Amino acid sequence: MTDFTVPDSVTPIVAWRYWRLGGADGLLRSLTGRHQRWEPGQALRARCRFDDVDRTDWRYRMVSGFSVDPHPAPAEGCTCGLYAARSLGALRGQMLFGLNRMVVGQVSLWGKVIPGQHGYRAEFAYPDRLCVFEGVINRDPGVLDALSAYAVPVEIVGNRQGVFSPVLALTRAIRSIVR
Ligand SMILES: [Zn+2]
């Protein structure tokens, strides 16, 4: 439970993001960043995406956002940090990799948070509310058990047979949350 304290004077920012469910344990994974696992009951802390590379390798100098000096994440002038979208609309603008084992939800961000055009890059993050698609639960009922480990509300988002519209389903889910 280290690092899982929110300073009293700082209200976490709540933003939106996607996760995918890990195959074996059903826990949340990032879609990028080597599918990093989000541990239940433990804040995820950002690491610079370039921490594990050989910074003297000249080829990295051509990578967008690369910074030669090691630094805590997120940093201005780099692209590191835990990403989340400012709104569901902004999140929808991102590419969906297929809805199989996809989770969408809200995430609390705190520590150092760098705002961007559509969202944020944060130092610390933890899920705040999760929405799982009905089809995912139907295929694997154990998913709800796995997600209960995060001790946050989990909503089941219905998907209509045949024509499944993720946007429509999400809009409905969001309405039920906002109410
Ligand atoms: Zn960085």
pLDDT higher than threshold 60 for residue 162? no
> pLDDT tens across 13-65, in order?
999 998 989 888 889 999 877 789 999 999 999 998 777 777 677 777 666 66
Supply the range of the domain harboring residue 75.
Answer: 47-80
Task: State whether 91 and 115 are in the same domain.
Answer: yes
CA of 51 to the centre of ligand 1 (A): 8
* Both structure tokens of 33: 């960043």
Tell me the β-bridge partners of 16.
Answer: 85, 106
**pLDDT bucket at 172, cuts 50 / 70 / 90:** low
Name the residue with higher pLDDT: 129 or 9. 129
Segment 157-168 shows an average pLDDT of 54
| Cα–Cα separations (whole angstroms), residue 105 to 60, 76, 83, 126, 162 | 33, 26, 13, 11, 24
67 lies in the same domain as 22: no
Q: Is the pLDDT of residue 134 over 70?
A: yes
Ligand 1 centroid vs 164 CA: distance in angstroms?
38
Q: Please, is 119 exposed, middle or buried when counting C-beta atoms within 10 Å of its C-beta (0-12, 13-18, 19+)?
A: buried
Residue 149, pLDDT > 90, answer yes
Domain assignment of residue 74, yes or no: yes
Are 102 and 161 found together in one domain? yes
Q: How far is the CA of 95 from the centre of ligand 1 (A)?
A: 23
Cα-to-centroid distance, 70 and ligand 1 (Å): 7
**Distance (Å, rounded) from C-alpha 135 to C-alpha 159?**
7
| Last-in-domain residue among 80, 103, 124 | 80
Full DSSP string of 139-178: H-THHHHHHHTT-S-EEEEP--SSS--HHHHHHHHHHHHH
Do 148 and 103 fall within a single domain?
yes
Distance 130 CA to ligand 1 centre (A): 28
Whether residue 116 sits in one domain with residue 70: no
Asked if residue 169 belongs to a domain, the reply is yes
> What distance in angstroms lies between residue 75's CA and the mean position of ligand 1's atoms?
6
Same domain, residue pair 67 and 131? no
Total number of domains constituting the chain: 2
> Ligand 1 centroid vs 61 CA: distance in angstroms?
13
Compare 150 and 35 and report the one with higher pLDDT.
150
Cα–ligand 1 centroid distance for 86 (angstroms): 21
Nearest CA to 158 among 99, 106, 86? 99
Q: Is residue 141 part of a domain?
A: yes
Question: 55 C-alpha to center of ligand 1: Å?
Answer: 12
- Cα within 13 Å of Cα(38), Cβ side: 29
Q: Is residue 109 part of a domain?
A: yes
Residues with Cβ within 8 Å of residue 148, at least 6 apart in sequence: 154
Write the pLDDT tens digit of every residue in 71-93: 899 998 888 899 999 987 777 76
pTM for the full predicted model: 0.77
Asked if residue 2 is part of any domain, the answer here is: no
Q: How far is the CA of 113 from the centre of ligand 1 (A)?
A: 13
64 and 131 share one domain: no
Separation of alpha carbons 157 and 167, rounded Å: 11
Average pLDDT value over all residues in the chain:
80
Residue 4 covered by a domain: no
Q: Which two tokens stand for residue 2?
A: 């280290």
> Is 124 found in the same domain as 168?
yes
| Residue 146 pLDDT exceeds 90 | yes
Q: Ligand 1 mean position to 80 CA, how many Å?
A: 4
Per the domain annotation, does 5 fall within a domain?
A: no
Do 25 and 68 sit in the same domain of this protein?
no
Asked if 131 and 109 sit in the same domain, the reply is yes
Residue 1 lies in a domain: no
* Co-location of 129 and 171 in the same domain: yes
